[in-house]
Amino acid sequence: MVHRRHGMDVVALRFPFTGDTPRLEKAAADVRTDPVAAARNSWAYLHVEDAAEAAWLAASAPLRGFHRVFLAAPETLADRPTEELIAEYHPGVPVRTAIPGRRVPIDTTAAERLLGFRSSYRLPEQDG
């Protein structure tokens, strides 16, 4: 609206569940116990340091117009395959392209293409 009405250049960052290392590790443990705990956020996460980096890049990028940018680490908090989780916790939601393994079901290509952003924090490998 601000871009349409006032011509202001805007980068709208869409954040998933975001936290520091202890918070993300606790969330991952909770999701291993009960995957519904993160179903609302598609099991996606982002470390606060990555969130800060993305915000800096968005604020300093020489972009014109309006840009919607989704952010997330490349893999989910869950220890199960993403397509399996979607089928169980979001039945009837179409999966339009393959989501291999624990890959996050969020398209983050605009973050890399427009901002040169890739999350650097990854949760430690999980058993399962």
Q: Is the residue at 53 inside a domain?
A: yes
The range of the structural domain enclosing residue 97 comes to: 2-115
Query: What pLDDT is recorded for position 3?
Result: 62
Which mean pLDDT values do the consecutive 10-residue runs of the chain (128 residues) have? 69 96 96 95 97 96 92 96 97 95 96 96 70
Query: What pLDDT is recorded for position 127?
Result: 47
Q: Is the residue at 125 inside a domain?
A: no
Number of domains in the chain: 1
* Contact predicate 78/35, CB 8 Å: yes
Q: Is the residue at 68 inside a domain?
A: yes
- To the nearest 10°, report the CA torsion of 86, 89, 91, 95: -10
Give the residue from 95, 92, 73 showing the smallest Cα distance to 82.
95
Q: Is the residue at 122 inside a domain?
A: no
